[in-house]
Chain A
Amino acid sequence: MILKVNNLRKEVSSGDSSLVILDDVSFSLEEGQSLAITGPSGSGKSTLLGLLAGLDSASSGTIFLDNIPIHDQDEEERALIRKEKVGFVFQSFELLPSLTALENVMLPSELKSEADPKSNAEFFLERVGLKDRQHHYPNQLSGGEQQRVAIARAFACSSKILFADEPTGNLDSKNGKLISDLLFEVNSETDNALVVVTHDHDLAKKCDKTISLQLGKIVE
């Protein structure tokens, strides 16, 4: 089991009132499987994804990522897990503006002190079809191109599980299909698990499992 979630709850307090964003979320995912998280805007999808990837800590509940209880770990330990096992594609890309596309994709390998970050990065940039744009900076790329760089960066993590927050949300349907095909292709090639937040029904249908959120709760 790559992911096992039990009674997950996230509460934020703003001022004196507190807001429950996620409540009683439980599910599990086998290795190599793919999961789609759907639901209306504001239902807590991004929050859940962040928790699963260990970018944030939950108010209560447990998360086992590759059998490691990340809910029990501190930021430093979770960073180590992220380095080893997690890839992440943000809804808003989050590329480093001062690095070229290539350098952005090299970043995970550099952090792992891998032998040849460059050729690894070039390989994945080629996979997302941006080999000829590798020396461009993010602000020289369109939204969709930046999204593809972000995906290449996540692939370059060679992780056991890849989280993607609306990876096709910024793309037209043709490019969207291209990207989602790519995601599943790499997913099946490397046998890693995939968790995508999406509004795209086609994409959701391709996944082995789907959970749907509404007001922070899973609905069937």
Chain B
Amino acid sequence: MLLGLSIKLIIREIRSGYLTSMLVSLTLAITIVSGISLFTDRLEQALSTQTEEFLGGNLKFESNKNKLQPLLKDLEIKDSQFMEMALFASVIFSNEEMQLSSVKAVDNSYPLIGLLELENSEGVYLTKSNPKPGTVWMDERLQNLLKVKYGDEVYIGDKSFIFTDTINYEPDRASGNFSFAPKTIMNMSDLESTQIIQPGSRVEYNYLFAGPENEILYIRNFLEEIKESGDEIEMLDEDSSSLGRAVDRSENFFLLGGLIAVLLSACTISIASQRFTRRHISYVAILKTLGMKTLHIRALYFLIFFYTIILTLIFGLFFGWLLQNNFINIMSSYFPTELPAPGLYPLVVTCLTAFICQFGFIYPHILKLLSISPMRVLKDDIGLNQGSISVISAGLLAFFVLLYLYTNQITLSLIIFLGVISFSFVGIGSIYLLLGRKNLGLGASNAFNLALSELRRRKLGNSFQIFAFTVAIGLSLITFSASKNLLGSWQNSIPEDASNNFAINITKEDKDQMGLFLKENNIKSTTFFPVANASIARIEDDEEIQIDRNFNITWIYNLPEQNQILEGEWFSGENRNGISISNEIAERYDLRVGDLVYLKVEDKEIKTFVQSTRTVNWDNFSPNFFVIGHPSLFEDIPSTFITSFYIPKEKQEIAAELMREFRTVSVFSIEELIKQVKEIIDQVTKALNSILLLTCLSAIFLALSALQDGFSVRRHQSAILRTLGASNSLIKNSSLIEFALLGLISGILGALMSYSGVYFIETKVFQATANFYPELFILGPSIGLIVVSGLCFYLINGIVKKSPKELFT
């Protein structure tokens, strides 16, 4: 019986259209959430395979000594694979030319992850093997520099090799210090016979591991124990490549969009369920007077509640799937292969969101509804205290849980939560005061008075309406601003003429000549930074605390572009000067401004202090340094120089010329990387625009349901006013004035809210510098004015067209 009744009830509810806004916004929320989480899940999987490839494995051990090999027998590896490679720089000779190249000697397990794309006289092919002994592969640049063809002989050290293939693509691009230099790959077994590796020569040994997470962690622990100063361990999640950061950021954007859409929907759902319960008050009261047990009534409404979950989940997941398909199509050029199937996580997040919304924003209202006294049948003024503590706290709790679900950070959630709460508190409070005391009477003599008295009379309701509009406008503007300004500034951070080539190993002698060469060829370059490898020890109570890694440091007088001092001061002309370190390093190694440090460079020890910390823009594709010192400290330190410059496409041959001219200088191109990052930004922008659209849709739904909520009261009032002879224009105009004012106020508040939101996101989430966006303060009020009064015009027209008789029924 209950089942039948509940089905009848829900069908009737859906037909009557009263449930529409609740169902639609819940479906919208689920659509957005499932769409975004499905997509980011698949994206993440695809990208982690890509970054795995980039690193060459899940775990990498770098050392200057070939010391791991003998120790490996102590390591019990069951399910993981392992490979070894040696990286060094060497001059390679062909019969005509010679050229410095970065050489990679790899064993038979190469490549651990991914495939190589090679090219020879027979064409392009993919392979998962290393070069046969006695052969080498080289990249196209080196091939051109050495002027060799397939089958020609080249010499590395004492051994001759046959050049067989061109390297088009190698998966482990992150290997080696300067992996973008003209490159040679050879077989590990040939290494000895080249006689290149002598005691004291600079070689980097890389050991790569790929396998299941727990075993990788075990290996990592093992490696940590044998690790000495100068050795490095790298794991996937520590990837700090430009690509990794680009992907991270885009994920942040998506999550932000999703979170905002869900919050908007949550507000709509809350309003809708309030209306739902209000309409069901008499229904429940009647059921009670008819003798239905509260238990049964509860079961009845629980069933209705259950149906809405199921319905919205089905539709939401369906549309969400379409949405992520759409995203994947947009980004398909970036992923040539099929994306991996989504995992379980998106489904879990989606269902969790649906349940949190239901239990936070709908269920408390229904519980409240069940408490209605049967007296209500006799006296229809017995209302429900809909704003009761329990309902509000359930909503707030759900709000917080949602925040946490999406940000996964307790402090961030707390900040947003408290921010929103205090913002609405102050906002609603000031509106409350602003509207002032009501006068006697309705002020129905003219439209303006009527509007004003209405605003004052329904202060609380209006305040909440303004709150809803503010949230709708503010959050849409945040999404808009995020997509436009943040992405824009991100895009601009890679200017058209961003450096696409790096040159390293520039000697003091070559430096000036190379500068001249670049100038003659009209190529813009950054400063020539001196580079030296240094280790740092912090001095604390006369004790030296060694920092377990080495840094490439530089020394210059001027703060590099796009660096910003956070604490302390940049070098001044004459005073005692020290070093400036990046904020990441300061945090990780607990270094503060004023700390005394020892720098060990070459064989010299320099005692100095931390003078400032600064932010570094790692995305600007020019040389960046964790540690910068004042030149006076390094006067007699030998160093090479590094610089970056932009070579336009049509002048590519200059790179080869440069390398021929300056044999010892290594030049490598990062064109591909820039292209990849730019592409991601482009595609993220497109995808984000669809999220922006959906967010605006949720916002309009919120505004509409907030308006509709007030309009049932307005309908009754207009009917009475019309009976008493009020003209259409009085009712229309007063409503328009009233809502234009409401819209305007909400717009201003929304602009303020979005501004604080964007400020917060820029400084805290993306750790960039905040900008002022004047357009927010134009957009907000005008959108508020136009949208709210537009919606009002639409709703009020439906009222004034009808005769009073029709309105009463």
Interface residues of A (CB under 8 A from B): 50, 53, 55-57, 75-76, 79-84, 86, 88, 90, 94-96, 98-99, 102-103, 106-108, 110-113, 117-118, 138-139, 153, 157
Contact = CB atoms under 8 A, between A and B. Distances in A.
B70 interface: no
A98 B440 contact: no
B444 interface: yes
Contact of A55 (B442, B727, B803): B803
Q: From DSSP, what is the main secondary structure of chain A's interface residues?
A: helix
B724 A157 contact: yes
Contact of B725 (A50, A82, A102, A153): A82
A103 B441 contact: yes
A83 B805 contact: no
Given A83-B724, A108-B724, A55 B805 contact: yes
Given A55-B803, A56-B803, A139-B381, A107 B721 contact: yes
Contacts of B724: 82-83, 88, 107-108, 111, 153, 157
Contacts of A138: 381
A50 B730 CA distance: 22
A102 B717 CA distance: 16
A178 B671 CA distance: 96
A55 B807 CA distance: 10
Contact of A94 (B440, B726, B806, B808): B808
Given A108-B724, A153-B724, 14 more contacts: A55-B804, A76-B728, A79-B722, A79-B728, A82-B724, A86-B725, A88-B723, A96-B720, A98-B457, A98-B717, A103-B442, A107-B442, A111-B445, A111-B725
Given A56-B805, A75-B803, A79-B722, A107 B727 contact: no
Interface residues of B, number: 29
Interface string B710-734: 0001001101111111111010000
B727 A76 contact: yes
Nearest to B717: A96
A81 B804 CA distance: 14
B443 interface: yes
Given A55-B723, A76-B727, A107-B721, A99 B442 contact: yes
Given A50-B805, A106-B442, A118-B440, A111 B720 contact: no
Interface of B: 381, 440-446, 457-458, 713, 716-717, 719-728, 730, 803-806, 808
A88 B725 CA distance: 11
Between B441, B717, B721, B728, the greatest number of chain A beta carbons within 10 A of the residue's beta carbon is seen for: B441
B291 to A, nearest CB: 26
18 contacts: A56-B803, A57-B803, A76-B727, A79-B727, A80-B727, A82-B724, A88-B724, A90-B808, A95-B720, A96-B720, A102-B440, A106-B441, A110-B444, A111-B726, A112-B725, A138-B381, A139-B381, A157-B724
Give 9 closest A-B pairs by Cβ, nearest first: A83-B725, A139-B381, A56-B805, A82-B725, A110-B444, A113-B445, A55-B804, A55-B805, A106-B441
A117 B442 CA distance: 11
Contacts of B441: 103, 106-107, 110, 117-118
B656 to A, nearest CB: 83
A84 B716 CA distance: 22
Nearest to A46: B805
A79 B726 contact: yes
B725 A81 contact: yes
A215 B703 CA distance: 46
Contacts of A96: 442, 716-717, 720
Contacts of A53: 723
A57 B805 CA distance: 9
A75 B728 contact: yes
A75 to B, nearest CB: 6
A102 B721 CA distance: 16
A173 to B, nearest CB: 21
A90 B808 CA distance: 10
Between A55, A79, A98, A139, the greatest number of chain B beta carbons within 10 A of the residue's beta carbon is seen for: A79
Nearest to B461: A98
Contacts of A99: 442
Nearest to B804: A55
B717 A82 contact: no
Contacts of A55: 723, 803-805
Contacts of A84: 725
Contacts of A153: 724
Between B381, B443, B805, the greatest number of chain A beta carbons within 10 A of the residue's beta carbon is seen for: B805
Contacts of B444: 107, 110-111
